[in-house]
Structures are given as structure tokens and as C-alpha cells.
Amino acid sequence: INDGSKDDSERVIRKLCEKKFSNIAIRYISQTNMGVAQARNTGIDIATGKFLMFLDQDDWLDPMCVQNLMKKAQDSCADEVIGGYRLVDQEGKVITSWKMQSKYEWSKFRIVAPWGKVFKRELIDQHQIRFLNTKISEDLYFNILFMSYTDQIEVISDIGYNWLNNNQSESHTNWNRISEDRNPIIVLEHLQAKIAGSVYLNKELLAYFFAKYIMSEKIKKKILFQCIECVLGGLREITLHIENGR
């Protein structure tokens, strides 16, 4: 999905599309820039496979990543399988890695990103699960919403996804911007309304997950920015009234 890129992404993708692969079919979609949530939703809308997997544009997979995830999905009849990941810097050096442990139910909540996992498309289509059209935590919304419809979720210890630590990417710079569609509280309110009746989610783990999310440094900073913006907005309104002699 080319979400309105301004570099040479289209040329690279079209060159790949011209190649012949024995077991891979590439479908290229270009759209005006609508953000990562809408780009992923476009992919969901046109997908035809039994399972879905998401890969961000600057990340990469180990050769056996998909095979290991799908083997577990097929062997266990799972609706979702979650693997681990490495955080890698621009020089290819591993900064840290997350290895999932199947014996802990908390492992299902450890990675909020949609990548490094496979999701059964039938469940996504059945419940019309999509990414919330927001610029923050759209991945958290999707993951928890999917989990609210099934308990057939498996975890494998394999680490096959490589996440590039790009300080200029949207996921890094997004936290320093203020707007209504970057308010984490609104995301949580939308999600809570959707999952309120779920019988699959562990309520204690979910409560802990939300508390941990809200207390994370990025979110605390984001909420503080939102509060400051509200205060400044009020002061600007007061100043305007004073200047107008009201």
C-alpha cells in the first residue's frame, strides 16, 4: 500500500511487481496520503488470504518468520499467533529483543503493534475489525479489539520480526504533536465502548494493561501536552475577549 509517498517508493514497488516469484503474489495499491490506519484498512479490504500479516515499510522479516507463525496457527487452529521481535538501529545492530513466553498469558498483551503476528481474516471480516482512524495507538485499538472476539490466541518463542529504530518515522515523531486525533484518551474511550461485552478478555490483565499504557512515559507526556494545550487555548480565548473589550 503506497500511502501517498513522496520518495521513489513507487518505482521500487513496481520493479518488484515485474519480477516472477514462485510462491508470492504482489498486488500494488496507491492512494493519497491518509495515514497508517487507513493504509492498513485498505489492505484488509482487498485481502483474500486465510490469514493477514502486517509489515511496516522500513522493517523486515527473518526467512522463516511467516512459516513459523503459520505452522503454529495450523497446528493449534489458532485465530492469532504472536511472535517476538528485535529492535534494530540504522546500522543493523540489535538494540533489544522481545522473546514471547507461551506459559504467561500476559505475553499476549506485550506487543501492541500489529506486526510480528498473523490474524485469521475470517474473524476480522466477521466482526468488521478495522484500525481506528487516529494518528496515535491505532495499533493498540486493533489488537485489543481482535482479542475481544476470541481466546484462540497462541504465542511462539521464535523471534522473526525486525523493527527498525527510525527516529524520523511517524511512530517516533507523532508523540510530540498536539491534535484531537492524537489524543490517547479518545482512543481508549472508543475501545472501551467496543469491548465492554467481551467474554474472552481477562479483565484483570486488561485493567493492568490499560494502567501500564496510561502510565508509560510517552502517554504521560502526551496527556500533559493535551492538558497544556487546553489551558493555552483557554488563555487565548480570555485574551481575545479582553482585546475585544468584553
- pTM value? 0.83
pLDDT of residue 239: 53
How do the pLDDT tens digits run along the chain, 246 residues long? 999 988 998 999 899 888 888 888 888 999 999 999 999 999 999 999 999 999 998 899 999 999 999 999 999 999 999 999 999 999 989 999 999 998 888 999 988 899 999 999 999 999 999 999 988 889 999 999 999 999 999 999 999 999 999 776 655 555 455 556 667 778 888 999 999 999 999 989 998 888 888 776 555 555 555 555 555 555 555 555 555 655
Question: C-alpha cell of 196?
Answer: 465492554
* Residue 67 DSSP SS3: helix
pLDDT at 183: 74
Amino acid at 206: L
Taking residue 223's Cβ as centre, other Cβ atoms within 10 Å add up to: 14
Burial of 173-196, coded b for 16+ CB within 10 Å and e otherwise, reads ebeeeeeeebbbebbbeebeebbe
CA 114, 117, 123, 124 torsion-angle sign: positive
